[in-house]
Structure 1
Amino acid sequence: MYRRAANGSVVDRYGGNIRLAQAVAGMYNFSIRFIEPPPGELWGELTSNGTWNGMVGLFAREEGDIGVANLFITALGGRRKFQEYTFPYGQESTCFLIRRGAGLPRWQSLALPFAQDTWLAVLLVALLVGPVLYVLSQPQVTSGEKLAGRSFAFSTLYTFAVHLRNSRPLLPLRTSLQVFVAFLWVYVIIVTEAYSANLTAFLTVERVPEGINTLKELYQSSFTVYAQGPFFGNNLAAAKNEHARGLSDRFIPLPDLESILEHVVSGEGVYIASINNLIYTISLHTTPQGSPTLRVIKECFQPFNMAMGLQSHSPLKRNLDQAVRMIVEAGLVHHWLDETLLLAKQDRQKAAEWSASTSTEGSANTTDRKIEQSVPLSLEHLQGVFIVLVIGCSVSLFVFFVEVVFRDSWKR
Structure 2
Amino acid sequence: MRGFTALVSCVAAVTLWVVIADAKELSITTIKQDPYTMSKGSELEGYCIDLIYELSKKLGFNYKLHLVKDNRYGALDSSGNWNGMIGEVIREEADLAVAPLTLTAVREQYVDMTTPFMQTGIGFILRKDLAFQESTFSLLSPFSTDMWVGILIAFLLTGVCIFLVGRISPTEWAEPDADEHSFTLLHSFWYITGALTLQGAGPHPKALSGRLVSAIWWLFAVMLLACYFGNFNAMLHSNNKHVSIKSFEDLANQDLIDYGTVEAGSTMQFFKNSNNPVYRRISQHMERKKSYVSSMEEGVRRAQEGNFAFIGEAVSLDLAAARYCKLTRSQEVIAMRAYSIAAPLGSPLVKNLTVAILQLSESGELTYLRDKWWASSCMGVDGDHTSSALQPNDLRGLFLLLGLGLSVGLLLALLELVSRAHNQAKDGKKSCCSLLTAELSRRFGSGGESAEQDCSEKSKA
1:137-156 to 2 correspondence within 5 Å? none
Is 2:368 aligned against 1:338?
no
Is 2:90 aligned against 1:60?
yes
State the secondary structure of the residue aligned to 1:320: helix
Contact 2:113 2:340 in 1 (8 A): yes
- Quote how far apart the aligned CAs of 1:317 are: 1.3
CA distance in 2, matches of 1:343, 1:28: 32
Correspondence for 1:231 among 266, 273, 280: 266
CA distance in 2, matches of 1:103, 1:284: 18
What TM-score results when the alignment is normalised by the length of structure 2? Answer: 0.49
- Quote how far apart the aligned CAs of 1:367 are: 9.5
| Structure 2 gap ranges (5+) | 1-33, 133-137, 147-185, 194-239, 388-461
CA distance in 2, matches of 1:367, 1:41: 31
- Quote how far apart the aligned CAs of 1:110 are: 5.8
1:13-412 to 2 correspondence within 5 Å? 13-42=44-73, 44-75=74-105, 78-101=106-129, 108=141, 211-222=244-255, 223-227=258-262, 229-251=264-286, 252-285=291-324, 292-342=325-375, 366=381
Is 2:42 aligned against 1:11?
yes
Instruction: Give CA-to-partner distance per residue, 1:239-279, whole Å, 9 cap, x none.
Output: 24221121112334433333323322222422222222111
Contact 1:214 1:297 in 2 (8 A): yes
Task: Name the aligned partner's letter for residue 113 of structure 2.
Answer: Y
Task: Name the aligned partner's letter for residue 125 of structure 2.
Answer: L
Larger CA deviation: 54-63 vs 25-34:
25-34
State the secondary structure of the residue aligned to 2:103: coil
CA distance in 2, matches of 1:253, 1:41: 15
Of structures 1 and 2, the larger Rg is shown by 2
- Quote how far apart the aligned CAs of 1:59 are: 1.4
Larger CA deviation: 260-269 vs 23-32:
260-269
Q: Aligned pairs, how many?
A: 266
Counterpart in the other structure of 1:357:
none
State the secondary structure of the residue aligned to 2:66: coil
- Quote how far apart the aligned CAs of 1:103 are: 10
* Higher helix residue share: 2
Q: Would the alpha carbon gap of residues 47 and 344 (structure 1) be closer, same or farther in structure 2, given more than 3 Å must change?
A: farther
RMSD between superposed Cα atoms in Å: 4.4
CA distance in 2, matches of 1:327, 1:261: 31
CA distance in 2, matches of 1:309, 1:344: 32
CA distance in 2, matches of 1:108, 1:218: 24
CA distance in 1, matches of 2:382, 2:300: 22
Contact 1:215 1:243 in 2 (8 A): yes
- Quote how far apart the aligned CAs of 1:37 are: 2.4
Q: Would the alpha carbon gap of residues 236 and 368 (structure 1) be closer, same or farther in structure 2, given more than 3 Å must change?
A: same
Contact 1:226 1:272 in 2 (8 A): yes
Instruction: Give CA-to-partner distance per residue, 1:107-126, whole Å, 9 cap, x none.
Output: 7356979xxxxxxxxxxxxx
Instruction: Give CA-to-partner distance per residue, 1:322-368, whole Å, 9 cap, x none.
Output: 101100101111211110135998xx7xxxxxxxxxxxxxxxx8498
What TM-score results when the alignment is normalised by the length of structure 1? Answer: 0.54
Q: Would the alpha carbon gap of residues 340 and 63 (structure 1) be closer, same or farther in structure 2, given more than 3 Å must change?
A: same
Using CA pairs below 8 Å that are at least 6 residues apart, which structure has the higher relative contact order?
A: 1
Q: Would the alpha carbon gap of residues 63 and 228 (structure 1) be closer, same or farther in structure 2, given more than 3 Å must change?
A: same
